[in-house]
Structures are given as structure tokens and as C-alpha cells.
Chains A and B, each alone.
Chain A
């Protein structure tokens, strides 16, 4: 069964304290791995797509990496506005309907 697990469930950082969020996945095959940001009461906001092991993507203070079993979202020198829930989702094979399987998310709180 395709499965996505994120850790930790919650993370509290001081402003400027870098850290990483983990997303482990078990799928028969991977079409793509996606990171989203979700603010309370809002829809997921797209951040990154990763397709193959070794791939990296960066956006401002965020960098996403991918291996054959997991993905990391590295947050460098976070600011309070980075506080949100970060969701990892996979688009597994077979099929190309685009069905995403989500992890439960990591809720990040950055204190000033």
C-alpha cells in the first residue's frame, strides 16, 4: 500500500535556527513528490516538485531534496512568517490520473 509519513509532527524553532523536515514514502513507483505549505483554514499552496533521486529545488529559505526513500525540506534561517504546516504528497505509479497521497504534515512554529 502506498504510504507517506512525515516527521516530526510539530517543530518549534527560534528565528534564524535552521532545521529539516522529513518525508518518507513507500510507493510501487514514483511519478513525482510534491511539497505544499498550508496555513490554518486555507488550501495547500504549491512549493516544489521533485521527480528523481538526487534532485534539489530551492526557493528563498527553503530547499527540497529527494532520495529513493525520502525527501527533506531544509529551512535555512527561518522567519516567523515561515510558520505553517508543510505537507508532502506523492503521485505514485501506475496510472497518470494525478491522484496525490498526502502525509499528515509537519506544523512549524518559528518564534521571533
Chain B
């Protein structure tokens, strides 16, 4: 069964450092997403990406964040200068072309710890 994969599973970084979180969405999907979940809190939308551009972003997704689809399979989230409050689980998700059956499938997550 196709699945979304994410690497690394756990990333530890120092405050102010840049991190890149990587995702491989399901191969025939066209919409890609990043969400985050701070420990004990709700899953929060960060950004959606379609046709090689951002289609929607939340207030959380400020200038420190960027996304890229560098090739036909990878989808990345970059945080330029990490802050302590960026510590969270980051989930990538993908879905097929818009339509009735538009459920999103999530990856296992990357746990980001900022020290």
C-alpha cells in the first residue's frame, strides 16, 4: 500500500540553525501539506502546495519557513533560523487531485527538538 515517508524521524538542532525536513508523498498525489503538532496540542496546518506553488499558508508559516519540491518525488520544509518554540512533530501529508475523495494521507512525522 502506498504511503507517505518522512526523514529524519528525529532531528535535534541548536537555536538559530537551519533545518530541512524531507517528505516523499504518495506518487500519484498532486497536493502536498505540512502540519505541526506541539506536544499535547492540536495538529495545526502550516502550508499547502499545488502545481509548484504555495496555495495557502497559515499565520505560523512566516518568512522563516519555506517549502520546495526540488524534484518529482521529494517535498521539503525548511526552517531558516530555528527557535525554541519550533520544537514539535512535523507531519507531511498528500492527497490526490481535488474531488469527492479528497482525504489526506499523513507521514509518520519528524520530531524536531530545538535546544
Contacts and interface: CB of A to CB of B under 8 A. Distances in A.
B102 interface: yes
B106 to A, nearest CB: 4
B56 interface: yes
B108 A42 contact: yes
Contact of B45 (A41, A49, A87, A101): A101
Contacts of B6: 43
Interface residues of B, number: 30
A46 B104 contact: yes
B104 A98 contact: yes
Given A43-B109, A46-B104, A102 B44 contact: yes
Contact of B103 (A34, A95, A101, A105): A34
A10 to B, nearest CB: 12
Contact of A46 (B43, B105, B108): B105
Contact of B48 (A45, A98, A104): A98
A44 B106 contact: yes
Nearest to B3: A43
Contacts of B44: 102
Nearest to A35: B103
Interface in A58-112: 87, 89, 91, 95-105
B100 A51 contact: yes
Nearest to B43: A102
11 contacts: A31-B102, A34-B104, A42-B109, A43-B106, A43-B108, A44-B106, A97-B31, A99-B48, A100-B35, A101-B45, A104-B41
Interface of A: 31-32, 34, 36, 41-46, 49, 51, 87, 89, 91, 95-105
Sorted nearest first, the 3 A-B pairs with minimum C-beta distance are: A43-B106, A97-B56, A102-B43
